[in-house]
Structure 1
């Protein structure tokens, strides 16, 4: 299993295990990580699974596609490291990934 750490806005950390091929959003939802609402169920049709990828992981996670960028325009306080966790497909390279959950979701 691949370990991913979610850090809430208040600093609370949640280390979860994710299955290869799933998404970071699915790992959050399956493990009850607060702040990841995932209203559209992972269809890239909202911004309620918005996370900030730790800068050390930006190269590994890559850049958002055009559709994701459009949805990120709806997110709360987007930054350079903003991603929709539904668009981050888990690979072995994600083992140890750290993402932060924004204070609010759109």
Structure 2
């Protein structure tokens, strides 16, 4: 109800004061870019695509400085770095009190 009473200028000022990183705003409204220009003319999508394709075909390719020759290797061959060895067989030593150690050494598999 309060927003309906505001003028467009006041709404624009309020929009500029809003946090741009607010995740509740849609991404299109988080952007500070504002363009108040009128459209230059109607958009004809087919003509636009035809023009872009025509420009792409008419634009000459940039020539290679060194032409491709089969069998010639340029630069260094990439060698992946060696993976560190997986040392999961490391022995772990645990310091137990004398009572626990004697109880575990004398226990059977079923008692453990």
Q: In which range does the TM-score fall when normalised by the shorter chain?
A: under 0.3
* TM score, norm. by length of structure 1: 0.15
Query: Which has the larger share of helix?
Result: 2
Whose Rg is larger? 2
Per chain length, whose mean CA-contact separation is higher, i.e. which structure has more relative contact order (CA < 8 Å, sep 6+)?
A: 1
Query: Which has the larger share of strand?
Result: 1
